[in-house]
């Protein structure tokens, strides 16, 4: 995404998307190590300095790059929201299985109200986030993507993923902190869903803008 019309009234109205060959002069790709989560997915930093962009590399319409990117986010944010729901569901499944097996003084910890209520709250959060994802995904599938709905789904599902994974660790206690029971991985993987494709704060900006526009 680069500025192709310096005379545009607002910078974003004069930006275009280009496909850039990774072997082109001026392109530098650096692998980044040591991530908190989603470690199976590689991460890198791309630096472009004085890179020549041939016209045939133009992706989409000229000076419409920002809008093309926003259109992409309408779908990709729903995908990240679905990722958040999946992480939360995985954490709940592990916590529920553990709570039904773990006994203290002959009593399963799932029979303790403090634990059962926490599990209930976890599933309430997950199902609420899941419905937001379904609605946002349905709108995309119908060819009527709603930026505010996509942002709602992502903001809520990301927060639910973090909260539910944290609750799962609490239920497992010390076991939740080690890799054997997987919930520590869910906890690490959850945080990125509040960051990429736009942070939760960005999602709130989008939601508020559409809300105020309707008002």
Active site residues: 197
The whole-angstrom distance between residue 16's C-alpha and the CA centroid of its chain comes to: 25
CA distance 112 to 78: 36
Residues 88 and 44 in one domain: no
**Which CATH number is 85's domain given?**
1.20.140.10
47 pairs with which residues across the strands? 28
Of the three residues 11, 44, 59, the one that is the final residue of a domain is 59
Task: Please indicate, yes or no, whether residues 48 and 114 belong to a single structural domain of this protein.
Answer: no
**Which residues make beta-bridge pairs with 28?**
47
Rounded to 10°, the helix 65-101/113-141 angle is: 150
Question: Which sign does the torsion angle of CA 152, 155, 158, 161 carry?
Answer: negative
Domain end marker among 59, 80, 98: 59
* 42 shares its domain with 89: no
Does residue 152 contact residue 203 with C-beta atoms inside 8 Å?
A: yes
Query: Percent helix, strand, coil in the chain (nearest 5)?
Result: 65, 10, 25
Residue 214 confidence (pLDDT) above 90: no
47 pLDDT band (50/70/90 cuts)? Answer: very high
Same domain flag for 17 and 75? no
pLDDT for residue 110? 97
Calpha distance 90→38 (Å, rounded): 14
Grouping H, G, I as helix, E, B as strand and the rest as coil, residue 27 is strand
Q: How many domains does the chain have?
A: 2
Q: Identify the H or E element spanning 167.
A: helix 147-172
The alpha carbon of residue 42 and the mean position of all alpha carbons in its chain are separated, in whole angstroms, by 16
Contact 186, 172 (CB under 8 A): no
If asked whether residues 26 and 79 sit together in one domain, one would say no
Query: 20 and 38 share a domain?
Result: yes
User: Average per-residue pLDDT in the chain?
Assistant: 96
Residue 197 and residue 95 share a domain: yes
Taking the C-alpha atoms of residue 161 and residue 193, their distance in angstroms, rounded to an integer, is 8
Q: What is the CA radius of gyration of the chain?
A: 22
Whether residues 23 and 115 fall in one domain: no
* 83 φ/ψ angles, rounded to the nearest 5 degrees: -60, -45
One domain for residues 136 and 153: yes
Contact 192, 37 (CB under 8 A): yes
Domain end position, chosen among 59, 81, 108? 59
Whether the CB-CB separation of 155 and 147 falls below 8 Å is answered with no
Query: Residue 149 is encoded by which pair of tokens?
Result: 């709905």
pLDDT tens-digit map of 91-150? 999 999 999 999 999 999 999 999 999 999 999 999 999 999 999 999 999 999 999 999
Q: Are residues 98 and 192 in the same domain?
A: yes
**One domain, residues 101 and 120:** yes
Residue 172 binned pLDDT confidence (cut-offs 50, 70, 90)? very high
How many CB atoms lie under 10 A from the CB of residue 145? 19
Query: Containing domain of residue 101, as a range?
Result: 66-214
Q: Do 41 and 89 lie in a common domain? A: no
């Amino acid at each position: 995404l680069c500025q192709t019309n310096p005379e545009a009234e607002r910078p974003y109205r004069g930006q275009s998307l280009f496909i850039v060959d990774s072997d082109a002069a001026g392109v530098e790709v650096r692998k980044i190590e040591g991530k908190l989560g989603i470690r199976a997915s590689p991460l890198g930093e791309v630096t472009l300095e004085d890179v020549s962009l041939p016209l045939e590399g133009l992706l989409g319409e000229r000076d419409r790059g920002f809008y093309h990117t926003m259109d992409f986010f309408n779908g990709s944010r729903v995908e990240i929201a679905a990722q958040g729901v999946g992480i939360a569901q995985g954490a709940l499944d592990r916590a529920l299985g553990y709570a039904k097996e773990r006994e203290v003084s002959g009593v399963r910890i799932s029979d303790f109200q403090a634990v059962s209520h926490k599990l209930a709250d976890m599933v309430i959060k997950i199902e609420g986030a899941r419905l937001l994802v379904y609605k946002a995904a349905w709108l995309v599938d119908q060819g009527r993507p709603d930026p505010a709905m996509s942002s709602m789904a992502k903001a809520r599902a990301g927060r639910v993923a973090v909260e539910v994974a944290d609750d799962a660790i609490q239920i497992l206690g010390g076991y939740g902190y080690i890799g054997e029971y997987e919930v520590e991985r869910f906890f690490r993987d959850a945080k990125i869903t509040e960051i990429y494709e736009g942070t939760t704060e960005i999602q709130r900006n989008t939601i508020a803008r559409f809300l105020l526009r309707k008002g």
